[in-house]
Amino acid sequence: MANDQRKSRRRAVCYAARLELRPGQPVGCLLSDVSDTGARLTVPYPDKVPQRFLLWLTQNGSARRLCDVVWRKAGQIGVKFERRLPEHQRAALEPVAEHTAAKRAVKDAMAAV
């Protein structure tokens, strides 16, 4: 892409992640691509996601990143990590086996927000 301004190369993935919209109450989302400096998240209601939030990259929260929203569009947001994501934390990401079921679970979780 000629106008790609990313500092780090992203790779397409389909991983389960969680947005902490309220302290201690993460809701599901899908990590659609990731690099060590940012990610694209699939969320059903991008307008409900605050400008700055904590992203849980693992179910137990062992890998987390503070994020700033860079862009929003239908069903997705692009985020920049406050600090880089080390390789060992990228290895801990949780693949999603069934994309459609995961999207449905994300939509249900976000509807409760």
Query: Does 63 map to a domain?
Result: yes
pLDDT at 66 over 50: yes
CATH code for the domain in which residue 35 is found:
2.40.10.220
Query: Does 62 map to a domain?
Result: yes
Query: Does 24 map to a domain?
Result: yes
Between 15 and 4, the more confident residue is: 15
Query: Does 55 map to a domain?
Result: yes
pLDDT at 33 over 70: yes
pLDDT at 80: 94
Q: Number of folded domains in the chain? A: 1
Query: Does 76 map to a domain?
Result: yes
Confidence of residue 1 (pLDDT cuts 50, 70, 90): very low
Whole domain around residue 57: which residue ranges?
11-111
Q: How far apart are CA 60 and CA 95, in angstroms?
A: 15
Query: Does 105 map to a domain?
Result: yes
Residue 2 is classified by DSSP as T
